[in-house]
Every structure is written in structure tokens, then in C-alpha cells.
Amino acid sequence: MTASAEARETALIAAQAAADKLATDVSIVDVSERLAITDAFVLASAPSERQVQSIVDEVEERLREHGVKPVRREGVSEARWVLLDFVDVVVHVQHAEERAYYALERLWKDCPVIPFVDRAAPAEAGTAETPAEAPAEGAAPDSGAADPSAR
């Protein structure tokens, strides 16, 4: 069994909300085959308690706009590791130190990852050749260096 379509959509909305508030290492893990209590975890990090809280607020607001409210909130007062339970999706927003220490990805490494691409992020560097890197039209790709084995 994989995460329901509704859980996947909720997780993607939460992940994008976190990314919009500059969360780092945003990922979604499909835990539906391992846990009966939820379908997916959204994991996100921030370098400060203030940013953790900002991310949490944005996730809650964005999901509230879609008619989804958390049934449980944990860790909000400390803002080091905040857990938002939306039943089918559990959002973990962690301070970067907690994220490294607890390493939830390692704990759930056998579970599939639900692909998430930040819509607001610039295109990946290195996906397009710059004019300096592109070979001249009609030239061999490695025409700049002689191949010693060709002698």
C-alpha cells in the first residue's frame, strides 16, 4: 500500500510551504507500508528557532487554506523540533542540529521517497551548457587536448 493521493497532495503542499519559507533539506517520505497511523512524513530543517516557527506557521496557514488542520502540535514552544500531525501526513520541522542528530531519513531509509521539487527554486546549476563550455559547432567535444594514447 502506498500513500493515498490525498496524503500525497497534502504532503506536497506542506513541503512547498516549508520551502517558500526557506526551509532546507525538504523531503517527503512515504511511510504508509511501515506505519498504520500515517501515510507520509514531511521533513524540513531551519538554522534557527525563529525560522522553524516561521516555517511551521506557513505550513499550517497553507494547509488551512486547503481545509486541513492539525489534530496535534508538539514542540511549538521550544521550536527546535516541531511536529504537526495532520493524520495522513505528519510534518517534522527541525532545527538543523536536531535534524543531523536524529537523522530521520536514516531511520526511514527503507521507505520510498515522494518526489518534491521546489517550484520557486532556480533551475539546477549545470543543466545547461554555458557558451564557454559548449564545443564549437563542428568541433570534436575534446578537441582542446591531445590524446596521448593516439600516438
pLDDT, tens only, 62-100:
999 999 999 999 999 999 999 999 999 999 999 999 999
pLDDT at residue 139, rounded to an integer: 46
104 confidence band (pLDDT: 50, 70, 90): very high
In a domain, 135, yes or no: no
Mean pLDDT of the chain: 86
CATH for 62: 3.30.460.10
pLDDT at residue 3, rounded to an integer: 84
**Closest Cα to residue 81, out of 106, 101, 58, 110?**
101
Helix, strand or coil for residue 124? coil
In a domain, 147, yes or no: no
pLDDT at residue 124, rounded to an integer: 54
pLDDT at residue 123, rounded to an integer: 61
2 confidence band (pLDDT: 50, 70, 90): confident
- Tell me the mean pLDDT in the region 106-117: 95
Contact 31, 39 (CB under 8 A): yes
pLDDT, tens only, 47-63:
999 999 999 999 999 99
Give the range of the structural domain holding residue 100, as residue numbers without chain letter: 5-119
pLDDT at residue 26, rounded to an integer: 98
In a domain, 143, yes or no: no
Distance CA 55, CA 80 (A): 12
In a domain, 151, yes or no: no
pLDDT over threshold 50, residue 135:
no
In a domain, 24, yes or no: yes
pLDDT at residue 129, rounded to an integer: 42
Domain count, the chain: 1
- Tell me the mean pLDDT in the region 107-128: 80
pLDDT at residue 121, rounded to an integer: 76
Output the nine-digit C-alpha cell for 2.
502506498
